């Protein structure tokens, strides 16, 4: 797949919600202009709520513990996400890229490589899949937070007996947006439960691994996915992106 130049950015420092969303949008516009594939791994410098593109803020029933947190609007759809103790990836592909054609294929391509890399450090996860799961207290379909909703493309960890799969928790959720044929996909990988949403555990609440191990596994997954998108690339985004 050498026809698409690749730009890979692993942010050294956390950024504000506004900057993170601006960089995602700049990458989507650049992909729509045919400039190549853009892949980024980043963090947030403060607990922030991102609202899905189609969520109407005036109609939202925001939990009191989240009401005072800063908010930004994502390009992608879905429910609100509390970005706190997590890693976030994003990538954009131009219209001409073969992976841009099928939304489901794109989710699976990224999530499969994340699952594979996490398994190397002893974190056993899977795609949720289409089959309804038996849970004692199913979350409402329209819960405010995305991580309390269910989607077959989620990455989940099973709790309890492996055979029973009595309950699973979502540790990775992703969403997409298309513009002029180009596609943006970004996703949150939960490291720890946030103090603002303790009912949503992260990987490190469930497995005896270090944060550095998880971060290394996630970065390896992002880099492998990037390598699957294009054979020729360079490290770092164009300077005009970073100076937004």
To the nearest 10°, report the CA torsion of 16, 19, 22, 26. -140
Element (H, E) at 130: none
Rounded CA gap, 177 and 182, in Å?
A: 8
For residue 48, what are the contacts with CB-CB under 8 A and spacing of at least 6? 16, 17, 69, 70, 71, 72, 82, 83, 84
Taking Cα atoms as reference points, which of 71, 47, 57, 61 lies closest to residue 142? 61
Helices within the chain (DSSP H only): 17-32, 103-119, 203-206, 211-229, 239-242
- In this structure, the number of other CB atoms found within 10 A of the CB of residue 62 comes to 15
**CA of residue 120 relative to chain centroid, distance:** 20
The active-site residue out of 87, 99, 115, 146 is 146
CB 157 within 8 A of CB 125: yes
146 catalytic? Reply is: yes
Which positions are catalytic?
146
């Amino acid at each position: 797949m050498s026809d698409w130049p690749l730009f890979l950015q692993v942010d050294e420092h956390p950024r504000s919600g506004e900057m993170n969303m601006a960089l995602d949008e700049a990458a989507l516009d650049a992909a729509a202009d045919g400039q190549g594939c853009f892949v980024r791994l980043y963090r947030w410098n403060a607990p922030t709520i991102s609202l899905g593109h189609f969520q109407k803020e005036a109609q939202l029933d925001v939990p009191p513990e989240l009401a005072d947190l800063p908010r930004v609007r994502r390009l992608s759809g879905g429910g609100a996400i509390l970005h706190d103790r997590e890693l976030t990836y994003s990538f954009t592909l131009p219209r001409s890229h073969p992976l841009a054609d099928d939304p489901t294929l794109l989710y699976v391509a990224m999530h499969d490589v994340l699952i594979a890399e996490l398994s190397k450090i002893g974190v056993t996860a899977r795609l949720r899949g289409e089959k309804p799961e038996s849970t004692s207290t199913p979350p409402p379909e329209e819960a405010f937070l995305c991580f309390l909703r269910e989607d077959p493309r989620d990455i989940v960890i099973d709790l309890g007996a492996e055979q029973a799969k009595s309950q699973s928790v979502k540790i990775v959720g992703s969403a997409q947006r298309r513009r002029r044929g180009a596609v943006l996909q970004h996703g949150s990988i939960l490291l720890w439960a946030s103090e603002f949403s303790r009912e949503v555990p992260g990987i490190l609440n469930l497995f005896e691994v270090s944060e550095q191990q998880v971060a290394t596994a996630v970065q390896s997954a992002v880099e492998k996915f990037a390598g699957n998108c294009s054979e020729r690339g360079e490290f770092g985004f164009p300077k005009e992106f970073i100076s937004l």
